[in-house]
Amino acid sequence: MGEKIMQTAIKEAEVRKDFRAEEISKNFLEATVGNTPLIRLRSVTSDLHANVEIYAKAEFMNPGGSVKDRAALAMILAGESAGELTKEKTILDATSGNTGIAYAMLGAARGYRVTLALPKNASAARKKILKLYGAEIIETDPLNGTDGAQLVAKELARKHPEKYFYPDQYNNEANWKAHFATTAPEIWWQTHGQITHFVAGLGTTGTFVGTTRRLKEFNPDLQAISVQPSLPLHGLEGLKHLETAIVPGIYDANLADRNLEVETEDAQVMTRRLAREEGLFVGVSAGANVFAALRIAEELKEDAVIVTVLCDGGAKYLHEDFWNEA
């Protein structure tokens, strides 16, 4: 049975690779979303038991710079297929930044206007990138975070259904299905079916939900660990403290075998370590994921292959003071 599952995953990966080779000259952006490398972490894991390995999916290598490219592309294609997204409509959604950048990039490539609601305290770098792609920005109350941005976007969509295509990333099934169809088979293939633990943060929850569902189909014994900030007010951009936030409709609380909370400071320290010890310039949510993966790894004495996600690159976080700390 294991061999059959492996062959299925390999076949899916090969089909996607063939598609990319055929389509890359037609539409570069869509063809280069996904199929990201899986990197073994060696320096930050040097103190672990010899047979415990940690790998990180390099999602910052997507064309828009983050894991959100997968979901944004899937939601746009689903909208087109359903006839809900036409050239007469503007793509509208709430975002903390990365999905918005993916919408703006893909919208520019496919000829759509894009309007995004995001908290006013979102970084200047994010806003600049969005504007460079031609997106319109609606700044919302920073104290309400992305929950407030969701409410603004939803109300606009309700008032002007003829004007907007509202994917609603927090409640769109295409979000998690993108990872079910692509991220999970890639990980399974890249680890030769040896993955034992999957660790990922919760934001829209699409990455965790979709990847976990598929990996558990491949191996029901796989352990899935979700990660979220330890406090409602935190510095982990893109992650949600679900106990005090609007819980995404696509979230399935039954999927996680374990939930870990991460302090902002611990994630920041790990983010610096990844840059200085692994040569990986990534964002703070990636630092949170790796920190959580290390916590799991330190408890294990038997053989294990742990996979986590490097959600985005570090360039959008250069304004943060934590880079300069000792």
Amino acid present at 257: D
Amino acid present at 142: P
Q: Which of 57, 68, 127, 154 is catalytic?
A: 68
Kindly report the CA angle at 117 between 130 and 211, in degrees rounded to 5? 80
Q: CB under 8 Å, gap of 24 or more: what pairs does 78-87 form?
A: 78/172, 78/174, 79/165, 79/167, 84/165, 85/112, 85/165, 86/165, 87/111, 87/112
Q: Which residues lie below 8 Å from residue 315, measured CB to CB, with a gap of 6+? A: 65, 125, 281
Q: Which of 66, 96, 226, 285 is catalytic?
A: 285
Would residue 57 show up in a list of annotated catalytic residues for this protein?
no
CB 32 within 8 A of CB 62: yes
Q: Which residues lie below 8 Å from residue 312, measured CB to CB, with a gap of 6+? A: 59, 60, 65, 66, 67, 68, 98, 238, 282, 283, 285, 286
Q: Which residues lie below 8 Å from residue 254, measured CB to CB, with a gap of 6+? A: none
Phi-psi region of 76 (alpha: psi -120 to 50; beta: other; left: phi over 0): alpha
Would residue 159 show up in a list of annotated catalytic residues for this protein?
no
- Two tokens, residue 14: 């090969």
Kindly report the CA angle at 167 between 165 and 173, in degrees rounded to 5? 145
Catalytic positions:
68, 285
